[in-house]
Structure 1
Amino acid sequence: MSTYVIREKYFGYNDEVFYVSGNRINKVFQDKEQAEVAYKQLEINGARDFALYEVESLFDADEALLKQLDDFVFLRCGEHIYQEGEVSRDTLPESLSDEDTFEFIQLADMHKFQLVQFEHEAKFYALWSVKKQQWVEEHDEFFAGLAYADQPDQLKTNVRTIFADYDYEDIQLKGSLEDLSEQPVLLQALIKNSKALKYNNKSQTLTILQGWEEEGLYAVNPLLKQPLFEIKEISLEEIQTIENELAKQYSYDEDDWGEEEDEDFDAEALVEELIQELAEELDLSDEQRAELFDEMNKES
């Protein structure tokens, strides 16, 4: 039986556009039609959330594509989204139908969700930190999530996260090429042809340069006797467990916050503070302050 997984993209904001900062599992289906209907409606609702000029794919689009998208919207509902060289600061027109909105999403590549189909059980792949012996998490100021994908090669850009294990500095590995790799000749050739790798013969140190992000790390890792990361299969259940834990750990829980505030709240102290301020403002005597305090306590 096939499995259908909807992944939701979470967005950060960089003062210009909303960018994808991570993904989480949204829904899981066994029925194809139900999955497609749910996915389509989620995409349509999501597309109406953002002001168009802050959508990354439109921000990066050339004039030809923007004119094509504007022509599409105008033809379908008689409104413009691109005029005088600028993308509209509004959301998509309400008069644009759901079907046309979904087609616009495809044309503009402004997806907020991903529908992944598996022939049998859902199978994902995630980054595993060899140094920390745990699944790799990705963090920015807007999101905390797991580094995983439905295809191993899709994790290439996520490999840069491994530098966090080394305080975001260059990674230095000590040893001769023979010590570091079962294929020292290939390793030497890779170092020679990669700007992201350096080897000091005198100190026998291989340096993987952080400034080149994933390029050198991804290329050299398979040649190392002791890899810095692995790409391993991870179950859907484990992903959901980790994502739920991360959501609890990093999400703001308004109800819990309110309960904590109520426990520490001292109404009498607040009343007394207000009376003190009022008494000083009106220049009341001690006797008048006491009477005012009694009256306010009665009312409260």
Structure 2
Amino acid sequence: MRGRTAIATTILFVVIICLFISAPKSWRTGASPPSVTGHYPYVKPSPLPWNPPSSKEPSGEAQADRLIVKVMLEDEDALWIDSLFPTWRKELVTIDKRFSKLHKGGNRVDKGRIASHYLIWIIENYKNLPETVVFLPPDQHTQQTSQSVIWTSSGSNLKTNISNLQIAFIQSSGFANLHCPTPSRCADLILPFRSPPNEFRTLEVAMPKVWQGIFGNTTVPEQLATAPGAEFAVSKTQVQKRSLDEYLKFWTWLHRTPMDDDTAGLVFEHLWHVIFGRDAVFCPEEKQCECEVYGKC
């Protein structure tokens, strides 16, 4: 009996040693397993790290007259911008492409992060702005087809469009969407007070609360429409018509909203024109846009 107990104890001891050796390192050290990006479902850390951007002091140096702010993925080729130098200077903001897989089926970077980087750049450079800024998002493979249609509708490619950009118009109007909208792109109005509500139009249903979260206690428009996108040009004067605190408020809303990154970014695609002084419904005719923005009259 005593011999059998000793054998059983020995076997148990061997099994424990084997389990210990084969266990993950975090079991043996007591450390938490490393976080892994790119998995679904994505759960934001709680509490969220809070590190709001702050404005740089005036540099005292002459700023570029025209600047392209390009948000890009790590392996993206943005060398084409160099061919626009010295007329256009550039600032490249690189983001981690692994965030493209935070959502099931995701194969592009989250748009919420694009809006965040635009706002961070504006906040940090608010006191050192160039006269004209063009904002461009990453080149996204899933949107290449639609993007080529957009730029073809302007009669040219992106590089040529920026070369043809009518700076006098940008300075006088303050803002221009680089997408000259076809009628179909502006036909889909967001109606925040649609009656009865269409629950399938989730952004529309959420817009009254979103609007007040971003713009404070201001009147929510009955209609909202533009050619959505994150490619636009804006003047220094127009940017500074809003205070630094307002841009920080926009950034704060983006980082505290329970919306997923994709939807939150889509919100800003529908609101950049409002942020930069245009009416809630901003849908210039395609030919008018091509003439005013690109000189194709």
Q: TM-score, normalised by structure 1?
A: 0.20
User: Quick one: higher RCO (CA 8 Å, sep 6+), 1 or 2?
Assistant: 2
Question: Could you say which structure has the higher strand fraction?
Answer: 1
Q: TM-score, normalised by structure 2?
A: 0.20
- Higher CA-based Rg: 1
